[in-house]
Amino acid sequence: MDDLEIAVAWRDAERFAGWLERYYAQRWNPRWEEFGYLPTDPREPGEHRWQVVGGVLRASMADELPEAIEVRHDDRSYRVVPLALVEVTEPATADLMRRWRARHACSAG
């Protein structure tokens, strides 16, 4: 996985902007095809894509957060969009799932 994708409600944009500032995010600049030289605030015009310490972060800004389920790993829980919903809304994910299912069907048979 190259980028981490998150969903952020517009009502949380100020808090998200503060987080981006605290973690020295640099916003993607399509004109120069590199990160930096643009305001990091998600309310400002531009792609919702930033370089942060851990990698690249993409945000889908929405009036309401998408339907989510809770996934637990050890003592932590994470709210994630159900894979079936991602598969319906993201063509690249649907293609990946078709390839995985075809490969899995071949190995099971």
Domain count for the chain: 2
Query: Is residue 109 predicted with pLDDT exceeding 80?
Result: no
One domain for residues 84 and 56: no
Whether residue 14 has pLDDT greater than 70: yes
Q: Which domain holds residue 98?
A: 69-108
Q: What are phi and psi of 97, to 5 degrees?
A: -65, -40
User: Following CA atoms 45, 47, 48, 49 in sequence, which dihedral angle do they give, to the nearest 10 degrees?
Assistant: -140
Q: Are residues 73 and 100 in the same domain?
A: yes
Whole-prediction pTM: 0.73
Q: Which residue has the higher pLDDT, 42 or 108?
A: 42
The per-residue pLDDT for range 46-96, each reduced to its tens digit, is 999 999 988 999 999 999 988 888 999 999 998 888 888 888 888 888 898
Average pLDDT, the chain: 91
pLDDT, position 11? 98
Residues 52 and 78 in one domain: no
At 62, the amino acid letter reads A
**Residue type for position 72:** R
- pLDDT, residue 1, reads 56
Q: Give the N- to C-terminal CA distance of the chain in Å, as an integer.
A: 29
